[in-house]
Structure formats: structure tokens, C-alpha cells
Amino acid sequence: MNTLPKPNRTPQEYGKVAVLLGGSSAEREVSLKSGQAVFNALIKLGVDAIKIDPVDELYQALIKNKVDRAFIVLHGRDGEDGVVQGFLKTLKIPFTGSDVASAAIAMNKLICKQIWQQVDIATAKFVCVSKSEIIDLERINTIISELGEVLFVKPVREGSSVGMSKVSTAEELIEAINFAHQYDESALVESFVGGKEYTVSLINGQALPSISMHTPRDFYDYEAKYQSNTTEYYCPSGLTDSEEKQLAEVALRSFSALGCSGWGRVDFIRDGDDGEFLILEANTVPGMTESSLVPKAAKAKGIDFKELVLHILDSSFNVESEVELHV
């Protein structure tokens, strides 16, 4: 893997930077922590940064503070799905990460899987169940016969394992689908794959070292990600050099297939101990808390948190050909 060149812009070149954090999604609390960490780093670096929570009159705050660019640390709905990206683009304010269309695509797990299938990127077998469908035992038994008895159920458009369940009976599957429908009109049902989970962080077209995760919980859920002190992370992840290279290439190709750019994270699960890597999902605004995976991967590459923040902020310059700087 190549070495990322160190950011070389002066703090003044970034102008007034708005760190967008919080929001109204189910991932608000994580976003507040991520945003605070990013804001603290920018201040220490001498960048003129402010925090803005979109629930507090976003338009007025951006205009009043004469914001030059935005560092998006909004997870989930309205922040990671193209909504705020489109709003910023309308205001001609450059922003970090993926553009409007690719952010929207990446947030939709069903569309992602369909795209990856078209470009021959392996993913677990799945079906989608809409809220308008009749969820009776006949439908449930058909799903089980197609995908197996042990299944994962998740909302199509949520992150951080919000609304996600692991099930092993028909009754549990019905409950899990109804639970996922509390967060989205569609629920994704996937075959269980019994292997290790891996994640690859991406910064400006380069892959960072992969991380493998282990939790004593039933699966890597919201609590395992953000609240548990028993989750273990391994970086190096235990893969051979050739496997590491293979996983990095698939992560970059899958991210690019969605049109994503700037920075993000792609999650995988391995089919057994030495089987193929199956892609789970792509994240265009991953967590930036102390326990988050992107900072861990960057640290393994010798990139401290402040430098990582600048690398991500530099991605906002990539969209300046599309939007004029707001002054």
C-alpha cells in the first residue's frame, strides 16, 4: 500500500470550517462524539472551526458564520444519505467525502448489493421485505428455505447496526422484520456467514490496514461498537500479505463502484476460516470517536488523529471544481 503524502496546507487555506455534527438520526449520540473529536483536533491544528448541529437552523448558521467549507460528521439519515450534501452543494459550500448521488446510494444497502452483484463483488445471499408486504408464515418459510435458518435482519437505510437482529426461528424472523420496519420501509434479510468480520478504511483513494473485530456478544451490534469494553480489535488483522492486498483491492473497487470518494470504510465478513471475503456494507461518514475504526487503522499506518482529520478535510478540495467557494 502506498504512503499517504502529509497534508501541506496552512490552517488559513481551509478558511472557516463548519463541523456538522449531531443531527436528528438514530445515530445522533455517536455523531456528537465524532464531531467533538474532529472539532478538538481542528482547533489544536489552528484551523478556524465551529460546530454546527443541523437541528439548530443549519442555513442561518452557515450564512451567519460565513462558512468556507464543511466537515461532515453526521451519521445516518439526512447526513450520510446525500441530503446535507445536496444542501451544501446548493449553497456552493465544499464538503468532505462523497458527493450527493454516491452518498445516497451507499446509504441504501439494497442498491449497494445490487450494484456489487453486477460487478462481481461477492456478498451474502439476501432478500428484501417491504413494509407493505404480508409477512405470514408462508413468506417467512420461503425466506428461510432460500437463505438458511440463521439470518441477519437490518433496515435498508440505517447504520451502526441500528435496528439490526440475528435470528434463528420463524417467529424471531417475523419480530426482527417488524423491528427493522420501525426504522425503514424496507428490511434486508441476509444469510448468516460464520466467519470473522473485517473492515478496511479508505482515505483519498488509498486503503489503510484492515482491522478484524471480536466480540463476546452474539454479533457486532451497536453496543459492541460503541458501549462495550469487551470488544477486541486486531490491526494487523491476522491476514497474510496477499490476503491483505486482496481485501484492500476489493474495498477500493466496491467503494468506487458506488461512485464514492474522499474517505470511508468498507466492511466484510469472511466465509469460514479461509473462504472468500463477502462485502457487508460501505460507510461514507464512518465514526470518528476514540473507539472508532478509521482512527485505529490510521494509527497503525503511523497517521495520528490530527493528521487523519486533515486528510479528510483535504477531500473537500476535490469538489471545488463543482461548487464555488462561499465567501
- Taking residue 245's Cβ as centre, other Cβ atoms within 10 Å add up to 13
- Pick the catalytic residue from 23, 287, 315, 316: 287
pLDDT given for residue 161 in this prediction = 72
Instruction: Confirm whether 287 is a catalytic residue.
Output: yes
Which of 55-59, 211-215, 274-278, 300-304 shows the lowest mean pLDDT across its residues? 211-215
pLDDT given for residue 323 in this prediction = 44
- Pick the catalytic residue from 25, 31, 102, 160: 160
- Pick the catalytic residue from 14, 183, 220, 226: 226
- Euclidean distance between CA atoms 43 and 16, whole angstroms: 11
Whole-prediction pTM: 0.88
Q: Domains plus CATH for the chain?
A: 11-97+306-319 (3.40.50.20), 106-122+194-303 (3.30.470.20), 126-191 (3.30.1490.20)
- Pick the catalytic residue from 264, 281, 292, 315: 281
pLDDT given for residue 76 in this prediction = 87
Flag whether pLDDT at 220 surpasses 90. no
Average confidence (pLDDT) over 5-29 = 94
The values of phi and psi at residue 281, to 5°, are -165, 165
Place 223 in a pLDDT band, splitting at 50, 70 and 90: low
Place 273 in a pLDDT band, splitting at 50, 70 and 90: confident
pLDDT tens for 9-19 read 999 999 999 99
Instruction: Confirm whether 212 is a catalytic residue.
Output: no
Average confidence (pLDDT) over 259-271 = 96
Flag whether pLDDT at 146 surpasses 70. yes
The per-residue pLDDT of the chain, averaged, comes to: 91
- Pick the catalytic residue from 108, 283, 315, 316: 283
pLDDT given for residue 228 in this prediction = 53
Q: Name the residue among 308, 289, 293 with its Cα closest to residue 35.
A: 289
DSSP3 helix / strand / coil % (the chain, rounded to 5): 35, 20, 45
Flag whether pLDDT at 81 surpasses 60. yes
Instruction: Confirm whether 27 is a catalytic residue.
Output: yes
Q: DSSP string covering 37-83, please?
A: HHHHHHHHTT--EEEE-TTTTHHHHHHHTT--EEEE---STTTSSSH
Flag whether pLDDT at 327 surpasses 70. no
Average confidence (pLDDT) over 91-114 = 96
pLDDT given for residue 3 in this prediction = 72
pLDDT given for residue 230 in this prediction = 67
Average confidence (pLDDT) over 112-139 = 94
Instruction: Confirm whether 281 is a catalytic residue.
Output: yes
Flag whether pLDDT at 224 surpasses 50. no
pLDDT given for residue 4 in this prediction = 84
- Percent pLDDT > 90 in the chain is 80
Place 215 in a pLDDT band, splitting at 50, 70 and 90: confident
The CA distances from residue 93 to 62, 78, 263, in Å, are 9, 17, 18
Instruction: Confirm whether 194 is a catalytic residue.
Output: no
Which of 62-71, 81-90, 166-175, 315-324 shows the lowest mean pLDDT across its residues? 315-324
The values of phi and psi at residue 283, to 5°, are -120, 125
- Pick the catalytic residue from 23, 27, 69, 244: 27
- Pick the catalytic residue from 28, 69, 157, 265: 265
- Pick the catalytic residue from 267, 292, 314, 316: 267
Instruction: Confirm whether 226 is a catalytic residue.
Output: yes
Average confidence (pLDDT) over 49-75 = 96
pLDDT given for residue 10 in this prediction = 97
- Percent pLDDT > 70 in the chain is 91
Q: Which residue has the higher pLDDT, 145 or 77?
A: 145
Flag whether pLDDT at 261 surpasses 50. yes
User: What would the grid cell of residue 132 be?
Assistant: 407493505
Average confidence (pLDDT) over 38-55 = 97
Sign of CA dihedral 150, 155, 160, 163: negative
